[in-house]
Structure 1
Amino acid sequence: MSEPTPISDPYAYLNIVKNPDGSITRDLTKFPCTPATPDPSPQTPVVSKDISINKSKSTWMRLYAPSSTLNDAVPSQKLPLVVYYHGGGFVLCSVDLQVFHGFCSDMARDLNAIVASPSYRLAPEHRLPAAYDDGAEALEWIRNSDEEWIKSRADLSNVFLMGTSAGGNLAYNVGMRSSAAASDLSPLRIRGMILHHPFFGGEERSGSEIRLANDQVCPPIVSDVFWDLSLPVGVDRDHEYSNPTVGEGSGGLEKIGGLRWKVMVVGGEEDPMVDRQRDVAKLMKRKGVEVVEVFNDGDVHGAEIGDPSKRKPLFASIGKFISSFAAL
């Protein structure tokens, strides 16, 4: 088998053009979107609807609920709530992309859960920590919401932060913030985090980044561009936002351990970031956090987003992780 052709122009690969004022022009034709499906029908096992969060920031959220739970005027039991942040290197994508809509719909169905997928402002127009601010604001909105699906159908004492790729990084950093203010979020109670192919980086190339330098999904040269566009101006990839292992992380991990949160880290052996994901998992364990690791042979970055056939086993693992809290 021949070596894949290296990606030499990451901007062309990403279909973005950098503008003189520091913004970028995105070619959105590569990312088909889909509307919400608010009306239940026999062909629609999961319904969804869009809710505004902050009009001044143009942030919003798509909610997903199994149709079966909406059939009961008074639900027999409330469902776990998964707050899911989408991927895209903090630079691309949106909540309503077909791939993320399909992923969240399948997750709500297979986990029998309410899924809330908040939007966040993108870089470089809004560099980090803007996305973290928006992710945390979404939790505050959920906490105070009178929205019927959340108030009547979601169990706010059984909440999980989840994200794919940059969304996994976002879930991690929002989790760190939330652990410091856990009592302020009442009645919302976070039980754990599910980091799905989380996006982490660093200045020195890891072993997997060297081995998979010519990866065709998200090679290190493309990750470098994402970090260059999203990190605060003047910092490098060893900043805590991209590389939590520098300086052994912050005190937030001890708080997460003290709150008895559990963290699930899902990755693929053919993802250039896999060594970094393992390193963050090791760091969390050293800090007293219970970590469940699921690393799959042959899987590329974000495998289950692009390949729906891989979702069933992923959601089975997540379902087991969520149900492990029922005994606590």
Structure 2
Amino acid sequence: MDSSSNEVVLDLSPLLKLYRNGHVERLSGCDVVPPSFDPTTNVESKDVTISKENNISARIFIPKLNNHDPIQTQKLPLLVYFHGGGFCIQTPFSQKYHKFLNSIVSQTNVIAVSVHYRRAPEHPLPIAYQDSWESLKWVASHINGNGSDEWINRYADFEKVFFSGDSAGANIAHHMGIRVGTEGLQGVNLEGIVLVHSYFWGAERIGSEAEKSEHLGLLENLWRFVCPTTIGSDDPLINPEKDPNLGKLGCKKVLICVAEKDLLKDRGWYYKELLHKIGWGGVVEIVETKGEDHVFHLFNPNCDNAFSLLNQITSFITNSG
């Protein structure tokens, strides 16, 4: 056997390593926890197939309902969530995302669909965007109560729909919001999107980015790795400033969450500026968590700042509409 086949040709630690023989070693986000009833949050979950042909699936979360609960006859706001992981690691089935969705569903009293899109490099971008849009069309197929999933048929309120995601998932949520605005999603009223530590970038340095040069290469190499057909860091897929459709974002409210120590923080603030600059007609809120880094709430979900972030997201969703 040629030992060179085991040579690492691209090291994108802490995400993954690519070997000369084509093997992809994902360094995190490979764990899987089964769907379940979680007694701590009183949330139940199950897994569904969206497209067998394209291997798209989701984990659905719902507050536990019982015969004595008046919520049985009520519709619930619907949250569609897109996980992060640089478009190449993590799934809705990992412990971190399962726990986070349990918490957010319990606190906001929503039904949530956590999407499992195909990941790079086996499935390079724009496949994740295509899968996410297919997932949204699948969700929308339940509007008349005759979709394939009974939870969504019975409990989803399509007048109160939210998209959210973290990091790469926030990037996806943003693009799905634009696609709703440009193409429409019949029967779905997108109230708002929640973008947590969004993976946006650009060729021109802004804010404090130039001071963190040791991390710039990873971000730029990662983008070219997951999207090999890209024109670079000013691709509209990664740089909202270059997207002529930004002003068509198809929701009424946006919550942007940033973290003080996150390299991507300034991109979140700039996104807010861009929406104001182009005259987008909705309401933009932004919250910054002091002393924390990228997606800290997933790695340390029981810290005070994670609870505070969860409360801010909950307030945004429950006070909308």
- Same fold judged by TM-score > 0.5? yes
The whole-number CA distance in structure 2 between the counterparts of 1:50 and 1:101 is 11
Instruction: Assess if the C-alpha contact under 8 Å between 1:35 and 1:96 holds in 2.
Output: yes
Specify the alignment match of 1:3 in structure 2.
none
Deviations 1:215-248 (A, max 9, x none): xxxx3332223202112425211111111113xx
Task: Please list every run of 5 or more consecutive structure 2 residues that lacks an aligned counterpart in the other structure.
Answer: 1-8
Q: Does 1:315 align with 2:310?
A: yes
Identity value in percent:
31
1:159/1:188 contact within 8 Å kept: yes
- C-alpha RMSD of the superposition: 2.4
Q: Is contact 1:24–1:124 with CA below 8 Å preserved after alignment?
A: no
The answer to whether structure 1 residue 274 and structure 2 residue 268 are counterparts is: no
Corresponding residue for 2:172?
170
| Distance (Å, rounded) in 1 between the aligned partners of 2:257 and 2:140 | 27
> How do 1:217-296 residues align onto structure 2 when only pairs under 5 Å count?
219-233=215-229, 235-246=231-242, 249-251=243-245, 253-256=246-249, 261-287=252-278, 288=280, 289-296=282-289
- Any runs of at least 4 consecutive aligned residues in structure 1 with deviations exceeding 4 A, and if so which? 40-44, 69-74
Quote the Cα distance in structure 2 between the aligned partners of 1:68 and 1:220: 47
One-letter identity of the residue aligned with 1:316: N
The CA distance in 2 between the partners of 1:264 and 1:70, in whole Å, is 35
Which position in structure 1 is the counterpart of 2:134?
137
Q: How far does residue 186 in structure 1 lie from its aligned partner after superposition?
A: 2.6
Offset, 1:69? 6.4
Give me the whole-angstrom Cα distance separating, in 2, the residues matched to 1:10 and 1:20.
Answer: 9
What does 1:1-328 correspond to in 2, within 5 Å? Answer: 11=11, 13-14=13-14, 16-20=16-20, 25-27=24-26, 31-37=30-36, 40=37, 42=39, 45-68=42-65, 72=69, 75-145=72-142, 146=147, 147-182=149-184, 185-213=185-213, 219-233=215-229, 235-246=231-242, 249-251=243-245, 253-256=246-249, 261-287=252-278, 288=280, 289-308=282-301, 309=303, 310-326=305-321
Conserved in 2, the CA contact under 8 Å of 1:10 and 1:222? no
Greater CA deviation, 282-291 or 24-33? Answer: 24-33
Aligned length: 304
Change (3 A) 1:160 1:282: same
For 1:253-290, what per-residue CA distance to the aligned partner results, in whole angstroms no more than 9, with x for missing partners? Answer: 3333xx55111100111100111111111111223232
Higher RCO, 1 vs 2 (CA within 8 Å, ≥6 residues apart): 1
Kept in 1, the 8 Å contact 2:38–2:102? The answer is no
Instruction: Provide the C-alpha distance between the structure 1 equivalents of 2:251 and 2:55, rounded to a whole number of angstroms.
Output: 34
Q: CA deviation at 1:12?
A: 5.8
Specify the code of the residue in structure 2 equivalent to 1:301: H
The one-letter amino acid paired with 2:113 is A
Q: Which amino acid aligns with 2:43?
A: V
In the TM superposition, residue 24 of structure 1 has moved relative to its aligned partner by 5.0
1:95 deviation in Å? Answer: 1.4
Residue of structure 1 equivalent to 2:6: none
Cα distance in 2 for partners of 1:70, 1:318 equals 29
Residues 54 and 30 from structure 1, CA distance in 2 versus in 1: closer, same or farther, beyond 3 angstroms?
A: closer
Tell me, in whole angstroms, the C-alpha distance in 1 between the residues paired with 2:209 and 2:177: 26
Which residue identity is paired with 1:89?
G
Measured against aligned partners, the alpha-carbon deviations of 1:110-131 in whole angstroms (never above 9, x if no partner) come to 1111111011111122222111
What is the CA distance between 1:41 and its match in structure 2?
7.0
What is the identity, as a one-letter code, of the residue corresponding to 1:324?
A: N
- SS of the residue 1:14 aligns to: coil
Residue pair 1:80, 1:113 contacting (<8 A) in 2 also: yes
Unaligned runs of 5+ in 1: 1-8
1:270-323, Cα deviation, whole Å (9 max, x unpaired): 100111111111111223232111112112011211111233222221222123
